[in-house]
Amino acid sequence: MGKDILRGERLEPIEYNVLKYISSIDEDEILFEPVKQINIAHIIALSEAGAIEERVAEKIISAIKGVDRFSKDEGFEDVHMLLEKKVMDIVGEDGGYMNLGKSRNDQVSTALRIVLRKKILDLILLLVDFMETLLDRAIESREKVMPAYTHLQTAQTITFAYWLLSYNDMLRRDVERLFENYFRTNLCPMGAAACAGTTVKIDRLEVAESLGFNTIVENAIDAVSSRDFMLEHMFILSSISLTLSRMCEDINFLANNDVGVFDVPDRFSSTSSAMPQKKNSVVTETARAYCGIVVGNFVGAMMLYKALPSSYNLDLQEMTPKVWETYNIVYDTVTAMKELVENLGFNEERGYEILVKNFSNAMELAEKIVLDYRIPFRRAHHIVGAYVKKCFEKRLSPLSREAYEVFCEKVGDEVIKCPSYEEYVNIMDPRTSIFNKKIAGGPNPENVMKMIHDRREQNKVFKKLALDEISRIEGVLLKLNLYDFMVSGGERR
């Protein structure tokens, strides 16, 4: 590498094994372009502050742009020193002005924010795309009944559309969290220097705006040492992963041979090396496993952060790879689950069979007694419970006349007249009962259609916000990249 521009005459040469141990160069490639952008913005700010001559600024900016390839050269602690040394190799000692008024501390925090903000917006767009897939499947499934479960026991009648909407709404909250995380991430630490600012009269707000940030992180200690924006992002990634893991568990259960409501397509499945009859849902199992890695990385990052004194510590360096790994896992999992849901098979007849066999509308029958005959709900609950028990003992279908007669027998002492058989079937038949639930947010197909429409409109807003922000930042950074034609005179255009 030649002379160590960082250690100079202050320290003896570092041991190679020590350098290798502390170096982040293997993980720094993702920061290469942002670090170049930051240095260009900083050199412009130094020139405008009169701290360096314009001709020097032009030379340095030209050299920065000329370093177009990231290389993991031996002897560099990180991307920051690599870039500075490569610029000095091109322009000589004038390249040494690059670090005037800044530190690796504010620079790395800024670079991390530049990378993360783009990743946040990309993930928002992917999640919106996934939610649109859920809504597309829901539109066609508004009247396709299936069981909802509590304690893994058949509970009540819902529809496939209603199940899909439940996961749409869980993910929607994560999209909202990502937008909040984005606005806390898109703040600029530059000008904080090591931990207490600089005597160079840099316009911090102009630097922030030239890099596409909304404003600055004002306090220098906070600017260089806080990684709560990354921890917040890891929490959101964990939340997304937990939701997807639960979806996978639903799919695994409902696609089980003994349940058979869902069918996972062959191209998302594998088979046994020994049992030829097997079809295993390996995508959902892998996604469920990855959730543990995601949450583990989040916990690991918090433990890394928990005992750090204020201002910058090199411990923070070890958090960054965990963030990128976690992001990549979640991004890939969302992509895989989107494709799976698009192609997930649904057996409505099997869903209907399970609902009927397990008296899934017993609660609605109890409510009918209460509302028609003003019997306290707990008493109605006991009546219907006794009716269900006797029907199970006699192996009766709830839609049969025999089951109806058992019901009338059980309510006979409590009411003047038993509901008609037609009324009874209207309640107990899962396909008709969903139309009886007109409460807001219920599985009634009309309600579901309204919810789908509302979610689609919200998705349009999410998508526009993300795309507009991506376009804005790209425009700002393009303007920064063209600045070498406008340095003379020091005027921003």
Structure tokens at 271: 């088979």
Rounded CA separation 368/375 (Å): 10
The CA distances from residue 252 to 97, 126, 151, 261, 340, in Å, are: 60, 24, 16, 10, 12
Chain centroid, CA 11 distance in Å = 44
- Do 383 and 407 contact (CB within 8 A), yes or no? no
Structure tokens at 192: 């904080």
Angle between the N-to-C axes of helices 104-139 and 228-254, in degrees from 0 to 180, rounded to the nearest 10: 30
298 Ramachandran zone, left/alpha/beta (phi>0; psi -120 to 50): alpha
- Do 190 and 480 contact (CB within 8 A), yes or no? no
Among 24, 62, 103, 151, which one carries the catalytic annotation? 151
Rounded CA separation 371/86 (Å): 81
80 is catalytic: no
Rounded CA separation 448/131 (Å): 15
Biggest CA–CA distance in the chain, Å, is 101
Among 71, 270, 272, 420, which one carries the catalytic annotation? 272
Positions marked catalytic: 151, 272
